[in-house]
Structure 1
Amino acid sequence: MKTLLNSLGEPNRWNIVELLKEGPLTVGEIARKLELPQPQVSKHLKVLSEAGIVAVHPIANRRVYQLNPEPFQELQEWIESYRQLWEERFDRLDDYLIKVQKHGEEDK
């Protein structure tokens, strides 16, 4: 999980992932769309590939990159594990605020 989050923490890599949400792209296409030098894009794609975020498919003399859904499913599961915790905390906060509001109305 930490590798995934660290990899996505860099703005250019985040932008690459956002582009790849729309479908597979070559390094050159990504470089053009982000207006970045191709070697820089290749370095970012290497990091994303090592983190398992993207998969590469050689087609003739081109390398096509696409998102790998598994890391994002793991991220969603991790986030879900905290959802119940936060919902319980918000419920307690709601209860507290209602109690404070009722107490304030009693003082009037």
Structure 2
Amino acid sequence: MEPWSSLAAEAPAELLRALADPIRRRLLERLVSGPSSAGELARRLGLPRVNISHHLGVLAAAGLVELRQRQAVVQPEALTRLRRYFDMALTAAAITLPGPGQPVAITTHR
């Protein structure tokens, strides 16, 4: 079995989609250091509170944060899933890619 086939089954697609937006990545980076309100995050990032609330909702729907009593809190289990996915991806890449200085074979499909 190809390493990538099992990797695709483990891909946390909803987490990756949520992190595709740079504002949401910045929010998550801020929240890793501790809970924060939408208002605090809006002030720190210089963005309208309504935008921050929207992005926090997307992060919450993906399971990356939990919204409790006006505070956004990072969900460690979601970060663990992301870490596991990237560890698997890096391992698969190390197995399938040539070493440093080795040519990469490029194939085209017609």
Q: TM-score range by the shorter chain?
A: 0.7 to 0.9
Tell me: CA distance 1:96–1:22, structure 2 relative to 1, closer, same or farther (3 Å).
Answer: closer
Structure 1: which 5+ runs fail to align?
98-108
Ranked by relative contact order (alpha carbons within 8 Å, sequence separation 6 or more), the top structure is 2
- Give the structure with higher Rg (CA): 1
Deviation beyond 4 Å, 4+ runs, structure 1: 94-97
Tell me: CA distance 1:10–1:95, structure 2 relative to 1, closer, same or farther (3 Å).
Answer: closer
Tell whether 2:40 aligns with 1:33. Answer: no
Tell me the C-alpha RMSD between the 2 structures.
1.9
For normalisation by structure 1, the TM-score amounts to 0.75
Match of 2:88 among 81, 84, 96: 81
Q: How many residues align?
A: 91
CA distance in 1 between counterparts of 2:43 and 2:33 reads 15
For normalisation by structure 2, the TM-score amounts to 0.74
How far 1:77 moved relative to its partner? 1.2
Identity of aligned residues (%): 31
Letter in 1 for 2:57: K
Secondary structure of the structure 2 residue equivalent to 1:25? coil
Higher strand proportion (structure 1 or 2): 1
Structure 2: which 5+ runs fail to align?
1-11, 103-110
Tell me: CA distance 1:88–1:25, structure 2 relative to 1, closer, same or farther (3 Å).
Answer: same
Tell me: CA distance 1:85–1:28, structure 2 relative to 1, closer, same or farther (3 Å).
Answer: same
